[in-house]
């Protein structure tokens, strides 16, 4: 049976029906913008719109852009601060009447990539980085997820977290050229390399699609692959979390 996977981001929320055995989308994607308030009430309503669009009745898998432990949001990330310590699954259940399995969005994207995508069979320490509103990270050791790696939260210079300086959001906010942004991203990869010595980086999220434009500027020595599932990885991984 197809499972509804929803990838909840700081900018957009995307859902699709997924065949959990093959990891393939069996419907079109449906996207709603993340409400500007980014608070529990408005976001639950947006999730409900996606559920209604698919007229879906089963358990939903959702990737959520914060630290998630047992369904509880432990950091508010780029969302409204009132999310902190809230039970995300319960909030979505209240609005939709459906059960939810909620996991961190980058963990979900990484899970999909490791099981159905370019990470399949990769051994050692693989770090998936999603480049979007924030910098998400998913860590896998010999294919097993180590949940809630938060590499985007490393403090850097005057920034409380490096994602404020090196994410897609930073590029938009400061009007950076792709090359200027890439030098920052390269620095982020080099710091990560120093801290956890990965065997492979896999890039996903919006800016991974433009990798060929900035590949030559990346200074880290760790091999890099681009997630071919690209923007669908979060949806597929969220659905797989239900399985």
Q: Which stretches of the chain bind ligand BGC, using CB under 6 A?
A: 65-67, 75, 77-78, 104-106, 130, 132, 134, 136, 150, 152-153, 163
- Shortest reach from residue 44's CB to ligand BGC, in Å: 18
Beta bridge pairs of residue 68: 73
Of the pair 168, 220, the CB lying nearest ligand BGC is at 168
Contacts from 175-180 at CB under 8 Å and sequence distance 24+? Answer: 178/210, 178/213, 178/214, 179/214, 179/217
Measured from the CB atom, is 117 or 237 closer to ligand BGC? 237
Q: For ligand BGC, which is the closer residue by CB, 22 or 85?
A: 85
Closest distance to ligand BGC from the beta carbon of 137 (Å): 7
Determine the Cα–Cα distance for residues 114 and 101; give it in Å rounded to an integer: 19
Contact 203, 171 (CB under 8 A): no
Contact 166, 188 (CB under 8 A): yes
- Give residue number: closest CB to ligand BGC: 134
Cβ contact 84:73 at 8 Å: yes
Phi and psi angles of residue 199, each rounded to the nearest 5 degrees, phi first: -90, -25
Give CA–CA dist 48/28, Å, rounded: 17
208 phi and psi, to 5 degrees? -70, -25
Closest to ligand BGC by CB, 97 vs 155, is 155
- Minimum CB separation from ligand BGC for residue 38, in Å? 12
CB 240 within 8 A of CB 20: yes
CB of 10 to ligand BGC, least distance (A): 6
Q: Which is nearer to ligand BGC, 77 or 117 (CB)?
A: 77
Smallest separation (angstroms) from ligand BGC to the CB of 109: 9
Which of 92, 149 has the CB closer to ligand BGC? 149
Question: Nearest distance from residue 1's CB to ligand BGC, in Å?
Answer: 28
Whose structure tokens read 């659905």?
239
């Amino acid at each position: 049976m197809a499972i509804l996977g929803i990838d909840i981001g700081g900018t957009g929320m995307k859902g699709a029906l997924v065949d959990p055995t093959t990891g393939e989308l069996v419907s079109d994607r449906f996207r709603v913008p993340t409400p500007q308030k980014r608070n529990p009430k408005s976001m639950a309503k947006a999730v409900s719109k996606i559920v209604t669009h698919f007229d879906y009745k089963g358990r939903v898998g959702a990737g959520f852009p914060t630290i998630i432990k047992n369904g509880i949001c432990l950091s508010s990330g780029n969302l409204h601060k009132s999310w902190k310590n809230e039970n995300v699954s319960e909030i979505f259940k209240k609005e939709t009447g459906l059960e939810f399995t909620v996991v961190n969005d980058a963990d979900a994207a990484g899970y999909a990539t490791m099981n159905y995508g370019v990470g399949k069979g990769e051994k050692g320490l693989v770090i998936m980085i999603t480049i979007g509103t924030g910098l998400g990270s998913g860590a896998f050791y010999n294919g097993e997820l180590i949940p809630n790696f938060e590499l985007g939260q490393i403090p850097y210079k005057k920034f409380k977290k490096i994602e404020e300086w090196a994410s897609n959001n930073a590029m938009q906010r400061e009007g950076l050229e792709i090359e200027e942004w890439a030098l920052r991203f390269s620095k982020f990869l080099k710091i990560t390399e120093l801290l956890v010595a990965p065997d492979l980086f896999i890039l996903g999220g919006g800016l991974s699609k433009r990798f060929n434009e900035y590949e030559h500027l990346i200074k880290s020595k760790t091999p890099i692959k681009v997630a071919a599932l690209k923007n669908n990885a979060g949806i597929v991984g969220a659905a797989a979390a239900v399985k």
